[in-house]
Structure 1
Amino acid sequence: MVMRRHVAFVLKFVLFLIVAVIGAVQITFPQPGYAAGRSTKPGVALSPAASAALHYAEAVSSGDRAAVGRLDFGCLYRLVSGGKPVRTLPPPADPYYVSCWLQLASAHAKVIEQQDAGVHAIWPGKGSLVFFSAELTEYAPSFFVMDQMGLSPPGTGIRMELLKSRPLPAASFRLGEKAAMVAAPATIVEMKVAYKDPLTSPVTFAPGLLTKLTNVVKSPKQALKQVTIRWVVLSGLRKLGFPADIAVVNLPAGRPDESAVPFVTETGGYETNSGVWWGPADASGPLVAAVGRASQLPEQQDRVAMLNRVLIIDPLQAEALTILSRELYQTVLRMGATAHQVAIGDPALAARFNELYWNVYSETVRTDISLGMEMGGRLGLAQPTAADYLYRMFPVMERLAKVRPEDLENRLRLGMAYRWNNDQETAIATHEVLLKDIRPELPALKAKVLIELAWSRIAKVAWNRNFDDPNIIQAYKEAEEALNLTTNPLDKFTAAYTMAYSLAFTPHRDNKAMVQLLTDAHHWYMRLPGASQASWVYLLGNDTLKGVVNADPAFKPLLALS
């Protein structure tokens, strides 16, 4: 009998504990169908305020208009701001929900890239990229969970984690111009938001950058990985005439000429200094895959945007630097072909012809290679210019030269880019250092470097018009050495042409020697695939040689050779 009583007592005590625990713990279940991930501590109940903040954030990120309309304080406030209570929410098909969502979408649209950033475009590009151009503290919390980032695809969504909540002093507002001030309990809820995909996460200016003092298109940017945001949640609203008892404060309610509604002691938004940005160690695998993907994209703007995205995360990603530098360089050459309109049937000769075009052009007119599309300026050109591609090349080639100094072609082209940018001293220095790094068993490569070094010296003399500069004599000697070293007909032609061109800037020009050198150059030129007499005549008609050739009848036979 005693044993039975003891067992009965134990069972009653256990039952009491179970009831007590169930009464004290509110069990919650995640709702399926959201693109955003949810993270809460298992076994811990969500307070009504935390639950509302989480559901609102999920609704925004998934584009759930109905859920946003049920929880958005600003939208609910507009329903009751006339002073009359609204006891029930509008039916699901009511235009109220569309209107509420459109106001939110209109605000979010301000951070979606709408202009063509040209060579500075960042994946996913115009119409899709979320770019926070202002300080992060200036944005309402919904900007950090907007559906542009939450929906999957194009990205892989976002992950949210509730951190903590605490009460605030009551919020206050009026339900009409002449209505009395009312108050509602307020709670602030902190939430960590993580962006899963480094290729589609929001972009900001580099932390600490003074954005007001820099060009917004070209300023350094980084990809945001994680932030902590705050939501202000109001409760006890039904007794004030609202159709819902709890709501989340996001965008300010009321008219623009009014003070913020509601008044709260702390506002929602970005938690200062909580931002974490993607770095090389966070996404090495995805970045390698992105570089491979970029090379397969059919449109150049998409290729450049993808590579730019990789490089804002890892500025020293060698493969991205290599592919982008070549893409930019080849585009500059193609723009030269578009400018001179001379048909060249062979790719190798076309590349050399276009390089020679920019060599001469950069010493004379320079307009196309010095004026960018000025994204925010008065010109407002629709497409990037050769200058845009040239300016974008510099940081790419410079970084590549640091991480892959063995890429001699990149260093050669970097010196050429400096020359085209009218930075002759840097061009000369770059080519001189490169020349020292060429091994003796590579005479063909040495010849190429000598030719480009000669052109860099010529550019200095041509631009400064200092014909006593010893660089012009040195340029002639380097081109002559290249002529003797190489067996390549293309380089033979270029070396002879360079020697003749350099003589145009000597104090006592030897026209007879120029004629002979141009005759030799013509001999090698016409042996090249894709060469023609018409393209040869163009080489004699540039701004430098034209005056010399036309002034002396000795050059006339060169124009008639076939």
Structure 2
Amino acid sequence: MIGARLLFLGVLLSSVPSLVGLIPSVDRVSGPALAAQPSLPKSAAALSVARRYAEALASGDRVAAAQLDFACQYRMVSASARRLTAFPPPSASVYAECWEPLAKAHETAIERREQGMDGLWPGAGNLVFLKEDLSLYPASVFVMDLLGLSPPAGGLRIEPESSLPLPAGSFRIRDDAPPMAAPATLVRLRVTYKDPLTSPATYAPGAYRWTNTVKRPRAALKAVTVKWVVLSGLKKLGFPGDAAVVNLPVTASTDTHPSVPFVTETGGYVAQSGAWWTPADAPGVLIAAVGRASRFPDLRERMAMLNRVLIVDPAQPEALTALTRDLYQAILNDGAAAHNMQVSDQALAVRFNELYWNTYSQTTRMEISLGMEVGGLSKPTPADFLYRMIPAMEKLAQVRPEDLENRLRLGNAYRWNNDQLAAIATHQALLQQFPPERAALRARALIELAWSKIAKVAWNRIFDDPVIVEAYQEAEEAFKLTDRPIDKFAAAFTMAYGLAFAPKRDNHAMLDHLIEARGWYLQLAGASQESWRYLLSNDTLKGLIETDPSFKPLLAAG
């Protein structure tokens, strides 16, 4: 007889887990919470309660969430002098009051600071960025309404995973009241985010956690498993609902008092359960996002969207191309705003602004080295553009080495960042790829290589460095190779500028080269005498031209 009863009990217990699989997954998180199903076994009922609670949080349903939250029900009971038989009406203020601690807990995960060129879509105030270890966040953070209400069609999917009975949870309604006990069940739910563009951001798995001088890589979270403790049988204890989820404790534990409620397990992130978006998960979404970013008028919004694409696929070539192009242009635009010279032709404006940064980066360097955060500034600086652009250019050079313009500009960026050897090596490698018959490209590479070598000597002030002679020779070769007026001008100007740092400066040779450069420059569309004079006003040439009378004709009109 006893054996038969044990056999029956074993069959009954083994059938309970199979009922969990009968609970349908939740594919959207909008709408009212589902009705309770008290006829289900305890484990299935607990899963249903936790799922409905998560659904209510994600949809921003304050009433449904509060009615399934133990801390809120506890607030209702402890504030009432008599036994509650029903919940307050939806208009009651208690629901807003119960939402406040949740919103406060979630606020720690919402990025509200201006991140400049490192911002991530959907931007400050809308981005959930989990900077701490995931185990430190309450489970509700992973299903907050900011995530649940994001497109498309609700931003996440919730699926029941497993449940496990626990020792009863205990609590007192008041300090002088006797302790109460309620059956407890540990429930696990799988939360999957539908869109890599709006899912929570974290630091990449395996990234260092402690102080470092470089920025930590980030990643887009795709799915997590969260756990909650569900207390049941609460109605007989005077609660308005029969089951509730323990998300935030009513009071935290101290050295002298346990937490309320006291349970043997805590909710939150299940260790090692996280999955992150990978390039193969949504390639079409990423390509579409790059196209979408190109239509944003604001640079910060474009960067945020492109950065989001690149934390999912760091080698996405379209995103890298768009990001580096926009940031390089932003640096040139800031140069134009600084010198305030009118150069109407686009091609000449690019070269003119590059020359501005070539000379400026060898002298005061403030604008090109002081970032927004370090400087306590309200908007990004050219330094912010530069620091974000260089790693993206490096990655693009690996992904698309055939993009020669990117590699030329990468060398320029190294030069402006005072990374002297990298600038020289980058332009030297490009030069070796161009055969003599590709005269235009070879001339361009020679001019940029010459400037990178000049920058090394100009900053280090080691005037017997042999690279200064090499720089002159390379600019001279470029002048002979090219037949393009803009490159003729650039090569002649580079030779003259480089001679300023020669061990034995030849002022007459400098004057000849500057006269040659002036002749070619004033032939160019968009050039003017005023902008030419500005080219001679940099810190390197200004003193020489103002003190040597032989240079005065360079400033004359005509």
TM-score, with normalisation over the residues of structure 1? Answer: 0.90
CA distance, structure 1, for counterparts of residue 105 and residue 74 of structure 2? 18
Residue of structure 1 aligned with 2:404, choices 401, 408, 413: 408
CA distance 1:87–1:488, change in 2 (3 Å) = same
CA distance, structure 2, for counterparts of residue 354 and residue 413 of structure 1? 13
- Partner of residue 3, structure 1: none
Deviation at 1:455, TM superposition (A): 0.2
| Deviation per residue, 1:144-191 (Å, 9 max, x gap) | 111111114367521111011011111111211222222211100111
CA distance 1:270–1:32, change in 2 (3 Å) = closer
Residues 1:503 and 2:502 aligned together? no
CA distance, structure 1, for counterparts of residue 452 and residue 230 of structure 2? 66
CA distance, structure 1, for counterparts of residue 112 and residue 287 of structure 2? 28
Does the 8 A contact of 1:329 with 1:389 survive in 2? yes
Unaligned 5+ runs, structure 2 = 1-14, 34-39
CA distance, structure 2, for counterparts of residue 215 and residue 147 of structure 1? 35
SS of match in other structure, 1:482: helix
Does the 8 A contact of 1:35 with 1:152 survive in 2? no
SS of match in other structure, 2:280: helix
SS of match in other structure, 1:293: helix
Q: How does 1:251-262 map to 2 (within 5 A)?
A: 251-254=248-251, 259-262=258-261
Residue of structure 2 aligned with 1:146, choices 141, 144, 147: 144
Moved more, 103-112 or 153-162: 153-162
- Partner of residue 159, structure 2: 161
Residues 1:98 and 2:96 aligned together? yes
CA distance 1:233–1:25, change in 2 (3 Å) = closer
| Deviation per residue, 1:307-362 (Å, 9 max, x gap) | 10110000001111111111111101111111112221111111111111110111
Deviation at 1:105, TM superposition (A): 2.0
CA distance 1:451–1:525, change in 2 (3 Å) = same
Letter of the 1:120 counterpart:
D
Residue of structure 2 aligned with 1:34, choices 29, 48, 58: 29
- Partner of residue 284, structure 1: 283
Deviation at 1:551, TM superposition (A): 1.4
Deviation at 1:34, TM superposition (A): 3.2
Q: How does 1:124-523 map to 2 (within 5 A)?
A: 124-153=122-151, 156-214=154-212, 218-254=215-251, 259-374=258-373, 377=374, 379-523=375-519
Does the 8 A contact of 2:199 with 2:222 survive in 1? yes
CA distance 1:508–1:274, change in 2 (3 Å) = same
Deviation at 1:300, TM superposition (A): 1.3
Deviation at 1:48, TM superposition (A): 1.7
SS of match in other structure, 2:310: helix
CA distance, structure 2, for counterparts of residue 271 and residue 336 of structure 1? 50
Aligned residues: CA RMSD: 2.4
| Deviation per residue, 1:243-302 (Å, 9 max, x gap) | 111100111213797753211111011000100000111111111111111112222111
- Partner of residue 120, structure 2: 122
Letter of the 2:29 counterpart:
Y
CA distance, structure 2, for counterparts of residue 260 and residue 389 of structure 1? 49
SS of match in other structure, 1:211: coil
Unaligned 5+ runs, structure 1 = 1-20, 39-43
Does the 8 A contact of 1:113 with 1:126 survive in 2? yes
Deviation at 1:197, TM superposition (A): 0.5
Residues 1:54 and 2:42 aligned together? no
Deviation at 1:440, TM superposition (A): 3.3
CA distance 1:231–1:256, change in 2 (3 Å) = closer
Letter of the 1:92 counterpart:
P
CA distance 1:486–1:28, change in 2 (3 Å) = closer
TM-score, with normalisation over the residues of structure 2? Answer: 0.91
SS of match in other structure, 1:265: coil
CA distance, structure 1, for counterparts of residue 479 and residue 184 of structure 2? 82
CA distance, structure 2, for counterparts of residue 321 and residue 153 of structure 1? 25
SS of match in other structure, 1:208: coil
| Deviation per residue, 1:358-395 (Å, 9 max, x gap) | 10111110111111111xx5x32110111111011111
Runs of 4+ in 1 over 6 A off after TM superposition: 24-33, 255-258
SS of match in other structure, 2:124: coil
Moved more, 351-360 or 82-91: 82-91
- Partner of residue 526, structure 1: 522
Does the 8 A contact of 2:28 with 2:156 survive in 1? no
Does the 8 A contact of 1:36 with 1:157 survive in 2? no
SS of match in other structure, 1:89: coil
| Deviation per residue, 1:518-553 (Å, 9 max, x gap) | 001000110111111111111111000011111100
- Partner of residue 13, structure 1: none
SS of match in other structure, 2:513: helix
- Partner of residue 10, structure 2: none
Count the aligned residue pairs.
Answer: 532
Moved more, 144-153 or 244-253: 144-153
- Partner of residue 534, structure 2: 538
CA distance 1:145–1:503, change in 2 (3 Å) = same
CA distance, structure 1, for counterparts of residue 27 and residue 537 of structure 2? 72
Does the 8 A contact of 2:203 with 2:217 survive in 1? yes
Fraction of identical pairs, as percent: 58
Deviation at 1:238, TM superposition (A): 1.6
CA distance, structure 2, for counterparts of residue 334 and residue 125 of structure 1? 24
Deviation at 1:32, TM superposition (A): 9.7
CA distance 1:25–1:143, change in 2 (3 Å) = closer
CA distance 1:33–1:442, change in 2 (3 Å) = closer
Letter of the 2:353 counterpart:
N
Letter of the 2:301 counterpart:
D
SS of match in other structure, 1:281: coil
CA distance, structure 2, for counterparts of residue 77 and residue 316 of structure 1? 51
CA distance, structure 1, for counterparts of residue 52 and residue 357 of structure 2? 59
